[in-house]
Amino acid sequence: MVWRSKPRDKGVLPTSEPRSADEGSGGKPGFRAHVTAFIREFGLDWFVLLLFLIIAFVIDKYVPDAGGRTRYFRLLPGQSTSPQMEAFGHPYRKQIITFWASAGLDVGIPALFIGLMELFTRRSFVNFARGMLGAIQSVITCCLIQIILKTFAGGFRPSFFEICKPQPDGPGAGWDGTWYRWTICTGDPDKIAWALESFPSGHVATSFAAGVFLSLYINAKLKVFSDYRPSPLLILFFFAPLTLATLMGGAISADMSHHSYDIIGGAILGSIVALSVYRGLYASIFDSRINHIGLSSSRRFVRKPDYDYVEYDTHYGFPVFTYYGKSY
């Protein structure tokens, strides 16, 4: 099946714009035109994402860990086989992948994939900018949500007891007086605060936010799941970001920074955020006819029944595209 391009209406995306005075030779936009278009189209989005980062930082640094501080744990002196000790008595280990390494991977891997795809396909700055906006928006939005959840829900990490170093000075709560709160901890205050923020896993949440968004982007741009039988290499390319995100969950599990339910919760959160962000930026998630078309904040997308936007054929399971009009 071949999709053919039809004439475009001004109110329908994508649309061709009149040539700007800033265009360079050959009818191609100059550098100033690219910058102006970028700011006009995406500037407000980046400003809002910056506000999200500031809010996340303020909550993380200055709002007490309400969820973890209100929880009780059971302390049975001389007993190391209770369910509480099994859950929270693991040895403390430094994280295999640090926060900054995770942040770098969450941004760097999408930048590499999206950059390479644009370099070898259409070489569109707008496509690259929109794709990176989506990947970073997924990560930052997920970061803000998981920080809120950690602060107001939280929980004890697997190495809580070793970090806490509990020293009860009297009977605790409960009918047998064996239930205590974080106030009996004598360990490092910063580590204790970290040990009270178990749910969900931020590393896994942001990794899945970036990975799922990137996989959706790959599917849309390369039409992996469309009306032809794709090459196994395309299938592998689609699953690469998801595999990397799953490996992040494996690293977090190996260093015992989180419980299994923290990791699963983070993966679900990141996936939902990525799906929502992708649909907010593109005309569809799974409809292969239009899921590569970016939406605009200044005009609606209206698709007519006979309206198609790209023509492609296949060669040994790989799509060969013919593009029309302006890149969106």
Q: What is the domain partition of the chain in residue ranges?
A: 25-62+100-155+198-306, 68-92+158-195
First-residue to last-residue Cα distance in the chain:
23
Residue 16 binned pLDDT confidence (cut-offs 50, 70, 90): very low
CB atoms closer than 10 angstroms to residue 184: 16
What is the predicted pLDDT for the residue at 323? Answer: 59
pTM score, whole prediction: 0.84
Q: What backbone phi and psi angles, to 5 degrees, belong to 49?
A: -65, -35
Which residue shows structure tokens 């399971």?
Answer: 317
User: Of 33-37, 46-50, 87-91, 166-170, which has the strongest mean pLDDT?
Assistant: 46-50
What is the predicted pLDDT for the residue at 89? Answer: 86
What is the predicted pLDDT for the residue at 258? Answer: 93
pLDDT tens column, 109-128 = 999 999 998 887 777 788 88
Residues 6+ apart with CB under 8 A from 184: 75, 164, 166, 167, 168, 169, 172
Check pLDDT > 60 for residue 10: no
Residues 6+ apart with CB under 8 A from 223: 230, 288, 292, 312, 319
Check pLDDT > 60 for residue 221: yes
Residue 36 binned pLDDT confidence (cut-offs 50, 70, 90): confident
Check pLDDT > 80 for residue 170: yes
pLDDT tens column, 70-106 = 999 888 766 555 677 778 888 999 899 999 999 999 9
How far apart, in Å, are the Cα atoms of 208 and each of 110, 279, 291? 12, 16, 20
pLDDT tens column, 238-250 = 999 999 999 999 9
Task: Provide the residue type at 88 as one letter.
Answer: F
Question: Do 291 and 225 form a contact (C-beta atoms < 8 A)?
Answer: no
How far apart, in Å, are the Cα atoms of 86 and each of 70, 76, 181, 259, 325? 21, 12, 18, 11, 62
Question: Do 8 and 301 form a contact (C-beta atoms < 8 A)?
Answer: no
Cis peptide before 171 (omega within 30 of 0): no
HSE at residue 322, side-chain half, CA atoms within 13 A, is 9
